[in-house]
Amino acid sequence: MTEIPKSHPRYASLVARERVAEGVKKGYTSTQGLIAQGRGECFDYLLGERTTASAAAAIRAGAALLLLAERPAISVNGNVAALVSEEMVALARALNIPLEVNLFHRSEDRVKKIADLLREKGAEDVLGERPDTSVPGLDHARALATRGGIYDADVVLIPLEDGDRCEALLAMGKRVIAIDLNPLSRTAKKATVSIVDNILRAVPQLTEEVRQLSNKPLSDLEKILNEYDNQETLAGAVQEIRDHLDEQFRKGSD
Nearer to ligand PTJ, 111 or 221 (CB): 111
Nearer to ligand PTJ, 80 or 221 (CB): 80
Interface with ligand PTJ includes 77 (CB under 6 A)?
Answer: yes
Q: Are the beta carbons of 96 and 211 closer than 8 angstroms?
A: no
At position 58, the amino acid (one-letter code) is: A
Residue nearest to ligand PTJ (CB): 40
Nearer to ligand PTJ, 97 or 200 (CB): 200
CB of 154 to ligand PTJ, least distance (A): 23
CB of 29 to ligand PTJ, least distance (A): 6
d(CA 176, CA 70): 14
CB of 184 to ligand PTJ, least distance (A): 9
Q: Which stretch binds ligand PTJ (CB under 6 A): 3-11, 101-109, 216-224, 233-241?
A: 101-109
Give phi and psi for 72, each to the nearest 5. -75, 155
Neighbours of 108 (CB within 10 A): 9
Decide: helix, strand or coil at residue 66: helix
Interface with ligand PTJ includes 211 (CB under 6 A)?
Answer: no
Interface with ligand PTJ includes 43 (CB under 6 A)?
Answer: yes
Interface with ligand PTJ includes 23 (CB under 6 A)?
Answer: no
Q: Are the beta carbons of 183 and 194 closer than 8 angstroms?
A: yes
Decide: helix, strand or coil at residue 144: strand
CB of 208 to ligand PTJ, least distance (A): 17
Interface with ligand PTJ includes 161 (CB under 6 A)?
Answer: yes
**Kind plus residue range of the DSSP H or E element containing 85:** helix 78-95
CB of 141 to ligand PTJ, least distance (A): 8
Decide: helix, strand or coil at residue 126: strand
Interface with ligand PTJ includes 87 (CB under 6 A)?
Answer: no
Q: Which stretch binds ligand PTJ (CB under 6 A): 99-107, 117-125, 222-230, 235-243?
A: 99-107
CB of 17 to ligand PTJ, least distance (A): 10
Interface with ligand PTJ includes 105 (CB under 6 A)?
Answer: yes
| Residue 24 CA to its chain's centroid (Å) | 19
Work out whether strand 99-101 and strand 126-127 pair parallel, antiparallel, or are unpaired. parallel
Residue 173 backbone zone (phi > 0: left; psi -120 to 50: alpha; other: beta): left
d(CA 250, CA 84): 35
d(CA 241, CA 88): 27
Q: Residues near 208 by Cβ (< 8 Å), separated by ≥ 6?
A: none
Interface map 175-194 toward ligand PTJ (x if CB under 6 A): ----xxxx--x---------
Enumerate binding residues for ligand PTJ (CB under 6 A).
30, 32-33, 36-37, 39-40, 43, 77-79, 83, 103-105, 160-162, 179-182, 185, 198-199
